[in-house]
Chains A and B, each alone.
Chain A
């Protein structure tokens, strides 16, 4: 049982499986023959250098000699045709195939390019990247604007919600920040307006509402302090922002306004489906309108995989 303790504050990690989401030693990249293929591969090269990972390139589609040659040429051009790397050419449903391969090869991170926003129809039908992010059992990195030239990660915004998965998510953000020498990591604590709504009634005096809110905020602060002590931030600059608003939406807006380079969120507890697109919550807000590159950190839990599927 892993306990994070700080000044008498305990956070029981029993429900989180022992395997942490990082380091990313096996990275799968979803490759499609789109105008952004070169940019995706350039980003893959940078990821391989940063994480010193084995890269597994997965293309789903009918085998075509010309396309195969072109892809091999690109892999060679970006120095990704190393012996340890793999190129998988599969057929079938893209999302199912990629997810199966990720499971088969025990991938730590799957990377896909994604448009900032989907059209209304695509939003409900779902693009490959977004479907991957909703169903993947490993962490997912969605690249909103992959570049061929170097695209440094200077500002990282990470979720600081009160959830067992947040420990791994923050640690992953710190891990990445140290590897890429990021300028700062900002942990966003979203004060859930919905939860505050139930105490905003005539049952509570103003003083009681303030007292309860302060109590909740203090508990949050202690929790984060405990996590950060354990995370070994070293000389990394870690900021904290507390914002009132709807979880998922508020942090997405903040990342956009702050011009973050990477937004790091918890994976959803339950499978997201059509109902979550009609009534969005949590990461659906980020998926609906990506503010920047998005990393969804998957922490598999024994207790939390329940819910309405």
Chain B
């Protein structure tokens, strides 16, 4: 990089971080997810807005081309790995186990129905969704299924917190079911991406699935044991928190490299290592917080803002595709998670609340969409539709939960001294 390009790069990174944070905080004040603000910042700096009026800036600074584009592409790859590591740390196996059959049922049905509906929608409407580079109906359909199955844990948590439902039975079932869905969803997506490397023969699918499961089991058993032996040593011998930060992210990158090498995908290695680290009894709250803050405040904004550089959201907006994806997403999740919750013994209003809670797709859906776009699985129109779907489902979760549960839970919520577990005769 020459002198000018270096300056342009630093300006780009600085503006991305500042605008991402400012817009993110603005949208958070409006009770919307932070990621919405970061996306908007990127859209404004990218070809959708700034590029229309100042194309020169778009070509030199806020660009995906040339050396700056290359650096941003590298940062995106690093950010995705870190985001998936952080997502893995949020998956708590003990919470999933503790919530029992109801969570398992809600999760299973909440996963299978969106997965199947998304898969068949992908097959049936393949031509309607437009051309993509893969030319592969199976891979596209699998992606659509996975995209419908993913949930957004932080948004669900925020919604439950705001409604004083976080520690209630319904709340923890939603959390546990969402965690399980994410775990399975990311395994599936890694398989889908792995198939892109190998082709879509049934042998390729089975091979990739098998390898994925073996790696997951090995990391979550042997890997966890090793981490639980290693972390106490690291706490004693290395500085805090720098030592643990370096160790955990270092392992995340190594795992990402390993899974990328064996053809699964880098994100999967990072995700599974995140679960293994997050599950460790030796990782205290402060350390988790620092790791999370580091990732979500530096790399997440860079990632989400950079999305806006890649695509002209206005030019690639297709109302019909967007509405169809929105419809499939909402219907499949409500049906799936809601039926699962009913099967688990919840009343219909609570079950519907579970459905809307898990309907929130959030940032991970956008990550999923971008990875699929980069892999050539989906077109830009479908990607824009996925982003809009992620944002809309995230925004609607809170009001719908409040509407469904306020009446029933009103006494428990308004009288703050009442234990949410108490029943009224």
Task: Report which A residues bind B (CB closer than 8 A).
Answer: 1, 3, 7-12, 14, 162, 164, 191, 193-205, 208, 212, 216, 219, 222-223, 244-247, 249-250, 269-270, 275-276, 278-279, 281-282, 285, 306-308
Contact = CB atoms under 8 A, between A and B. Distances in A.
Contacts of B279: 279
Given A202-B296, A307-B101, 14 more contacts: A7-B417, A9-B418, A12-B419, A14-B423, A194-B94, A198-B156, A200-B289, A205-B28, A219-B167, A246-B94, A279-B279, A282-B94, A308-B101, A308-B104
B157 A198 contact: yes
B12 interface: no
Interface of B: 24, 28, 33-35, 89-90, 92-95, 97-102, 104, 153-158, 161, 166-167, 175, 220-221, 278-279, 281, 284-285, 288-289, 292, 296-297, 300, 415, 417-419, 421-423, 425
Given A198-B175, A201-B292, A308 B167 contact: no
A250 B282 CA distance: 10
Nearest to B98: A281
14 contacts: A11-B422, A195-B95, A195-B175, A198-B90, A199-B157, A201-B157, A203-B154, A203-B158, A212-B161, A219-B167, A245-B281, A245-B285, A285-B281, A308-B97
Given A194-B92, A249-B281, A278 B158 contact: no
B89 A197 contact: yes
Nearest to B345: A306
A198 B159 CA distance: 11
B97 A197 contact: no
A203 B161 CA distance: 11
B412 to A, nearest CB: 10
A123 to B, nearest CB: 12
Contacts of A249: 281
A281 B94 contact: yes
B97 A279 contact: yes
B289 to A, nearest CB: 5
Contacts of A247: 94
Given A194-B95, A202-B34, A278-B221, A10 B157 contact: no
Contact of A8 (B93, B102, B418): B418
For the complex of A and B, 5 pairs with smallest distance between CB atoms: A307-B100, A194-B92, A201-B154, A8-B417, A198-B157
B64 to A, nearest CB: 24
A270 B98 CA distance: 8
Contact of B423 (A12, A162, A276): A12
B92 A197 contact: yes
A216 B100 contact: no
A58 B160 CA distance: 50
Which of A191, A200, A223, A276 counts the most chain B CB atoms within 10 A?
A200
Residue in B35, B289, B417 with the greatest tally of chain A CB atoms within 10 Å: B417
Nearest to B289: A200
B89 A270 contact: no
B300 A202 contact: yes
